A and B are shown apart, each in its own frame.
Chain A
Amino acid sequence: MSSARTSRSRSLAAHGILMLYTVIALFPVFVIIVNSFKSRRAIFAEPLALPTPATADLVGYRTVLSQGDFLLYFQNSLIVTVASLAAVLLFGAMAAFALSEYRFRGNTLMGLYLALGIMIPIRLGTVAILQLMVASGLVNTLLALILVYTAQGLPLAIFILSEFMRTVSPDLKNAGRIDGLSEYRIFFRLVLPLVRPAMATVAVFTMIPIWNDLWFPLILAPAEATKTVTLGAQVFIGQFVTNWNAVLAALSLAILPVLVLYLVFSRQLIRGITSGAVK
């Protein structure tokens, strides 16, 4: 950047503010991770202190790994998150392509209808969803969760992706048609790569609420075999006694997989966030 456009004090101030925000945002995570490595007494005595040889204790992790089947919970969470994410991205992108590319009767109405889901929380329909799952015999299956999360994620995905797809040059798609590419090839080979940053943005926004959700696993799939991590961690929170070591250890472990997924998408995400601004 040229020095004419940058002032030292202003960029210092900007960085200061960003640092402050980062510290505030990361603080709870920091506290959870630090305390997950301490003994119960140390957690309550000095919650902000780093673990020292005297206070360090892996009892939380030992409890988590020995009690309950956390490996299975992790697997369940991963299956649900990845499958829902894939379904949201695939069907969301396809619907967005149809809405942005084809002129048909009721196009706008359909777009509005699909966007309505952004404003109406899906939890309002919990009772009906539960009845539906009971009737179709899907209670206590991962499929129930995958279906619900796909429905939950689609509206925002369609909304964001159709806006992005409108910006893809119509000439490019027409060139593909003249060259004899099928609509599927045009969608997968020409359009999707161009909206990849938007896909990553949608992926992150979809993935995190699904991973963290407690509501639907509790209602639709509370069985031992289908528990997700967030639900599994609840066994350590009792009405009278809470095993804080175990809760904190479970939460620390639960951060890891999303962190990995996030890192996978983050390169794209940064391009997505800045793509409107730069160019």
Chain B
Amino acid sequence: MGSLTLTAVTKSFGATHVIKGVDLEVADGEFCVFVGPSGCGKSTLLRIIAGLEDATSGDVVIDGRRVNDVPPAKREIAMVFQSYALYPHLSVRDNMGLGLKQSGADAATVKERVAAASAMLSLDPLLERRPAELSGGQRQRVAIGRSIVRTPKLFLFDEPLSNLDAALRVATRIEIARLHRELGATMIYVTHDQVEAMTLADRIVVLNAGRVEQVGAPMTLYNDPANMFVAGFIGSPKMNFLAAGPLGQPGKTLGIRPEHVAIDRGQGAIAATVSHVEHLGGETNVYARCEEHGLVAVRLFGEHRFEVDERVFLTPDPARGFHFAEDGSRLRV
């Protein structure tokens, strides 16, 4: 129903090259998440897929059809924006129905589909209101409702939850996951949020400075990152990067996740001083500073008492480590 293929897509704004050659295959029905640091071109790539921006070169193929020259409205896509972008002068009902009406559907069909979408997202009590009379969470639900009315082949979400508070974010996230299951549609989702990416995605695309660093299932990226960038980007607290030499490890850098570093007051491989402790209840994060590796994060489960400035010893578990060469690429040893 809605596969997507990008072939060697590039985008330049004048002399600034924002997308530097992206190849990507998204299968029908897949939930694909784009993550990457701010300014890496996630939104730009999404806008190219939507047709709101022309690619400088390369092809966009939706459902087997090359759509480079097809206007956004004819690409059979729907997009949900970070700022909701509801039409301020229309009621919720008309906001949801407008796209379908524009595409030439008759009034009965529009009514029926709006009713179905509104039932799905429990928007019925809000249908006659204007966007100004809704809360942020309700507005975003309406925006999502508007996107499903047209039964698009491809859903595009650009950080749809980042304007919501934490509780609403979780609720809406679950709602989106449910929608994906019920509609079985292809979804592409841009986010900054690790948890959103890990929990929603079938596959995550990690972007950096206009290039794809790695594509894979969340656990693949976590357990088998292709390079130092992906290793550092996925996971929170961030992976520790230790100098490999002094630890007798191959390569330039040894990457080790905070949960795979043991901390002990008596003995260990690296002497360090506790510089900060975070108590989260279920887990405790200890940040310790040492001479040759800088700040190292240690993640402990349960509650632990460590004092700032306390002397401790850290022992990375070499079996769980990742080795990286000088240029950041992964050394598989």
Contacts and interface: CB of A to CB of B under 8 A. Distances in A.
B83 A181 contact: no
B72 A193 contact: no
B71 A172 contact: no
Interface stretch (B30-38, B73-81, B223-231, B280-288): B73-81
A180 B103 contact: yes
A179 B102 contact: yes
Contacts of A172: 83, 85, 87
A178 B99 contact: yes
A214 interface: no
A46 interface: no
B82 interface: yes
A181 B103 CA distance: 9
A190 interface: yes
A178 B78 contact: yes
Interface in A167-221: 169, 171-172, 174-181, 189-190, 193-194
Interface in B59-98: 71-74, 77-79, 81-89, 98
Interface in A92-144: none
Contacts of A181: 73, 98, 102
A84 B89 CA distance: 28
Contact of A179 (B47, B73, B84): B73
A168 B74 CA distance: 24
A177 B74 CA distance: 10
Contacts, number: 53
Chain B CB within 10 A, most for which of A176, A179, A194: A179
B81 A175 contact: yes
A181 B82 CA distance: 20
Contacts of A177: 52, 71-73
Chain A CB within 10 A, most for which of B82, B88, B103: B88
Contacts of A179: 73, 98-99, 102
Contacts of B86: 175
B73 A175 contact: no
A174 B85 CA distance: 8
Nearest to A103: B13
A178 B50 contact: yes
Contact of A176 (B50, B74, B84, B87): B87
Interface residues of A, number: 15
A166 B248 CA distance: 58
Interface in B201-233: none
B270 to A, nearest CB: 49
A175 B144 CA distance: 12
Interface string A66-98: 000000000000000000000000000000000
B54 to A, nearest CB: 10
Contacts of B89: 189, 193
Contacts of A193: 88-89
A178 B72 CA distance: 5
Nearest to A181: B102
A191 to B, nearest CB: 11
Nearest to B104: A180
A169 B85 contact: yes
A169 B78 contact: no
Interface in A143-174: 169, 171-172, 174
A177 B47 CA distance: 12
A268 to B, nearest CB: 15
Given A178-B73, A193-B88, A169 B83 contact: yes
A174 B87 contact: no
A176 B52 CA distance: 11
Interface string B40-58: 0000000100101000000
Given A189-B89, A193-B89, A174 B81 contact: yes
A235 B74 CA distance: 64
Nearest to B147: A178
Given A179-B102, A193-B89, A194-B88, A171 B73 contact: no
Given A180-B103, A181-B102, A175 B88 contact: no
B88 A171 contact: no
Contacts of B52: 174, 177-178
A21 B79 CA distance: 52
Contacts of A175: 79, 81, 85-87
B77 A190 contact: no
Contacts of B85: 169, 171-172, 174-175
B77 A178 contact: yes
Contact of A180 (B47, B83, B84, B99): B99
B99 A171 contact: no
Contacts of B81: 171, 174-175
Interface string B95-135: 00011001100000000000000000000000000000000
Given A171-B84, A194-B88, 12 more contacts: A171-B81, A172-B83, A174-B72, A175-B79, A175-B81, A176-B87, A177-B72, A178-B73, A180-B99, A180-B103, A181-B98, A193-B89
Interface of A: 169, 171-172, 174-181, 189-190, 193-194
10 contacts: A169-B85, A174-B50, A174-B72, A175-B86, A175-B87, A178-B52, A180-B74, A180-B102, A189-B87, A194-B88
The 10 closest A-B pairs by CB, nearest first: A180-B73, A179-B99, A180-B102, A171-B85, A171-B81, A175-B85, A172-B85, A171-B83, A178-B72, A177-B72
